[in-house]
Amino acid sequence: MPSAETSGVDNPNASALVDPQVLARLSRQALQARLPMVGSVSGLHKSPHRGSSVEFAEYRKYTPGDDLRRLDWRVYGRTDRFYIREFEADTNLRCYLVLDGSGSMNFGQPTKYELASRMVATLAYLLIQQGDAVGLRCFGEGLRTDVPPRRTPSHLQPLLQAIADLKPVGETGLVDALHDMAESVRQRALILLFSDFFCEVEPLLTALQHLRFQKHDVALFHMLDPRELDFHFDRPMRFVDMELSDSLLAEPAVIRQHYLEQVGLFLDQLYAGCSRLQIEYRRVLTGQDYEGVLAEFLVERARLKGIGV
């Protein structure tokens, strides 16, 4: 299995993935998990376990062995019963940035992969800056890069190196990769997916459901080029499959209506499935300002913190 930590020569493009000014502006808003997380140190995110923070959660009856310092004597005075005060515990999180490295991500100007790379690199910086552990998984026909999550600043270099070194080629193995991830990542995590999701909807939703069953907080960034949505071609074209290299000569005016209907159906099914599974879905177009996309994502996450299930 390839690992970014064993890369040879540094790729000079790695440092170009992040813009310091964008980082400075986005760092004003923390990236919050919507669901309780399980981490190793105190942090910004709610934990499923009870702790001793300042945010009161609930009372429960005293049981032998409980810490007597947490008894509420005022309640005892009113009820003549022993109750323990419980508080919300705060923890750090593990975030997995999952990046599609299949051939179709080479489409667009800038390409879908270039735009996704900048977003992934920026989020990695922000997460490590706020004390969270970040890992990276890049997939094509199989898992091509696996950088385990760590929270140290020195971890950024191998992570960025992996993104810069990867060349999008071949078919997508997204569905299998997500099932493997659901089985291998047992501890609750924030999983951010960056892909054009060129696969059948139902198997994809089944894989996403597998992740949610493991109580992961999942968000999708659907990378698309405007031409994939409006099919704005005005003369006969040869369309080449960027994953299989198959080609088709077609008159766009003849097939446009049917194409748009099928794309609309695909997008509607994917969005409806994400809503049903309580998965965040965001559409990102090549040429779009990625800072604005991430800023909206961060603000919306902060507003909805703790609302998810």
Query: For residue range 157-200, what is the model confidence (pLDDT) as tens digits?
Result: 999 999 999 999 998 889 999 999 999 998 889 999 999 999 99
DSSP state of 68: G
Which H or E element spans position 193? strand 190-195
Number of Cβ within a 10 Å radius of residue 66: 13
Q: What is the pTM of this model?
A: 0.78
Structure confidence by residue, pLDDT tens digits, 20-72: 999 999 998 889 888 865 544 334 434 444 444 444 445 567 667 666 667 77
DSSP state of 231: -
Hunting for tokens 């459901």 — which residue is that? 209
224 Rama sector, left if φ>0, alpha if ψ -120 to 50, beta otherwise: beta
Long-range Cβ contacts of 263-266 (<8 Å, 24+ apart): 263/228, 263/229, 263/231, 266/201
Long-range Cβ contacts of 250-253 (<8 Å, 24+ apart): none
Q: At what angle do helices 290-303 and 112-129 cross, to 10 degrees?
A: 40
Instruction: State how far the Cα of 217 lies from the Cα of 170, in Å rounded to an integer.
Output: 28
| Lowest mean pLDDT segment, chosen from 60-69, 116-125, 202-211, 214-223 | 60-69
144-174 CB burial, b ≥16 within 10 A, e <16: bbbbbbbbeeebbebbbbbbbbbebebbbbb
Domains defined for the chain, CATH in brackets: 4-31+92-303 (3.40.50.410), 45-91 (no CATH)
Residue 60's pLDDT is 65
Calculate the dihedral angle through the C-alpha atoms of 15, 18, 21, 26, rounding to the nearest 10 degrees.
-150
CB 296 within 8 A of CB 26: no
Instruction: State how far the Cα of 265 lies from the Cα of 52, in Å rounded to an integer.
Output: 49
Instruction: State how far the Cα of 119 lies from the Cα of 220, in Å rounded to an integer.
Output: 12
